Amino acid sequence: MPRFYCPVDMVRGAELELPAGAARHVQVLRLQPGDPVTLFHGGLEGTGASAVPGGEFEARITHMGRSSVRVEVGAHQAIEREAAREVHLVAGITANERMDWLVEKATELGAASITPLLAERSVLKLKGERADKKRAHWQAIAIAACEQCGRNRVPLVAQALDLSDWLAGPAGAAPAQRLLLSLRAGSVSLRNCLAEAGPAVFLSGPEGGLSPFEEEAALAQGFVPVGLGPRVLRAETAALAALALMV
């Protein structure tokens, strides 16, 4: 059944107009009045999450207009498909479409949040309005991935930050197991660090990895250097391989 992100308050029996993005998706799929759909709120900040339960709602299309779609909200299903472990991914921004792919697949794998990292070796540098547009673009990718994979909780894609700014912020101070993807001598296998329960933060760099200075800053804040084996993986592959092991 088609699934749509609908960040509005939903109550059984109510008729509501779908947000523009969901309405366009319905029209692209050529759905018709009477067709059933599934709606989910997503739990993103600023969307009234405190007033709306998680899970998903059954719904049925009641009206198809040129640019508007209305649905009648049905029963609420308390279904969640989140990963067993809460993993927050802090990943160096990779070039071009590779970052889009990383956000999409990290969402599918179950990342609780994604923070794009402006690292010293990042090819793509973001500031101001361009950074805001990129964040909105990546958040839209995460929403679409949730619609496809069945997640009812959309991971928040944070504003791109330098590592020092992230470490100094609330997220950087939150208690969690801290793991740093590193090629340095003495790094331990990620598989050997997964017995610990509870939330985790996984930090990985862009193409070329984090600089020695960035790694030292992370180690000073309690990150443990870990590796994925003898092969050197692309930045986006490494982050996703680690995430797949952790969740």
What is the 3-state secondary structure of the chain?
CCEEECCCCCCCCCEEECCHHHHHHHHHCCCCCCCEEEEECECCCCCCHHHCCCCEEEEEEEEECCCCEEEEEEEEECCCCCCCCCEEEEEECCCCHHHHHHHHHHHHHCCCEEEEECCCCCCCCCCHHHHHHHHHHHHHHHHHHHHHHCCCECCEECCCECHHHHHHCHHHHCCCEEEEECCCCCCEEHHHHCCCCCCEEEEECCCCCCCHHHHHHHHHCCCEEEECCCCCCCHHHHHHHHHHHHC
87-246 matches 3-77 in CATH topology: no
Fold of the domain spanning 87-246: Alpha/beta knot (3.40.1280)
CATH number of 3-77: 2.40.240.20
The per-residue pLDDT for 45 is 47
What string of pLDDT tens digits covers the 247 residues of the chain? 899 999 988 999 999 999 999 999 999 999 999 999 999 998 764 444 444 568 999 999 999 998 899 999 999 999 999 999 999 999 999 987 899 999 999 999 999 999 999 999 888 777 788 889 999 999 999 999 999 999 999 999 999 999 999 999 888 888 889 999 998 888 999 998 887 778 999 999 999 999 999 999 999 999 999 999 989 899 999 999 999 999 8
pTM over 0.95: no
| Structural domain spans, the chain | 3-77, 87-246
